[in-house]
Structure 1
């Protein structure tokens, strides 16, 4: 569950956004992303293990500048969906450059002798694909809901929760399934 720390700025943003103006939720995400990055670097983590944290810093820096510069921007309505779209781009981009974002996180919890194992790499590619698909579906569905049913708050909350809970559950279960299969085959 160590990987959930990477999503703290995103989760805090979502919580603060329900209570306060988007400027403050963006600033909250930015501050938390910066703190997480500083702590991770002090712990010796390399940039390749910090893809989500670096993405959060970039997103929340951009969002904070836009939110404080143009507080009445129409983007304000779409910030929740934009976070999912940004995370989808981050996940798909990490796959495209052959550095699935979950691989860096997994390396912080796995012995170095397994890092070059093709199964380890494949498991993380599959997990990142699930996250990427979930972020994509959640982002697109969020934009559609905001366009066609902007007051469907409960549906947006359920969408957000499922868009995060499904890949979390998969991330926990899938490596266990692969290990069990490998032990059965051995």
Structure 2
């Protein structure tokens, strides 16, 4: 459940940032992300445990700046897609540097004796790749839908829900499947 709190800035932004409200969504997302990062760091969480929260703080700082510099940019229309482009970049980037973003979170939930096992790393690399793939799929689907109909709210919500729920379910089930195979 704690890991899902890291997505709170993104969720709040998605709710608030509709049409002309994108600036307020960005500011709110930034505020929540900064509070989460500060809270987590004060609680002793390592940086690798809060990759999504840190990524959110950077993203929302950029989007907030853009919302003031270019308040009428066409990017507003693609806000939901931009979120997924950023999250895909975060996930793919974490894999590229050999530090899957789920690894730090998983270390807080798994016993220390498994942290150094190759299978522990592989499980997290697979989970991160699944998230990266779904973020990428969502980015492409949302870009196409929003280009065709910027007011296709029901379709946007459906895409966002599916591309969040499905990797969440995979994240919960996959480690259990691997553990059962290795028992």
Equivalent residue, structure 2, for 1:128: 128
Give the alignment's Cα RMSD to 1 decimal: 1.3
Equivalent residue, structure 1, for 2:143: 143
Distance 1:109 1:6 in 2: 15
Following superposition of structure 1 onto structure 2, how do residues 47-126 of structure 1 map, counting pairs within 5 Å? 47-126=47-126
Normalised to the residue count of structure 2, the TM-score between the two structures is: 0.96
Normalised to the residue count of structure 1, the TM-score between the two structures is: 0.94
Following superposition of structure 1 onto structure 2, how do residues 41-52 of structure 1 map, counting pairs within 5 Å? 41-52=41-52
Distance 2:170 2:18 in 1: 27
What's the offset of the Cα at 1:105? 1.0
- Cα deviation code 1:90-134 (max 9, x no counterpart): 000000000000001111212222111111111000000000000
What's the offset of the Cα at 1:43? 1.1
- Cα deviation code 1:29-67 (max 9, x no counterpart): 100000000111011111122211111010000000111
SS in 1 for 2:14: helix
Distance 1:76 1:42 in 2: 34
What's the offset of the Cα at 1:68? 2.0
Where structure 1 has 5 or more consecutive residues not aligned to the other structure, the ranges are none
What's the offset of the Cα at 1:86? 0.3
Distance 1:173 1:145 in 2: 30
2:158 is the counterpart of 1:158 = yes
Distance 2:19 2:71 in 1: 16
What's the offset of the Cα at 1:19? 8.4
Equivalent residue, structure 1, for 2:40: 40
What's the offset of the Cα at 1:20? 6.5
What's the offset of the Cα at 1:146? 0.9
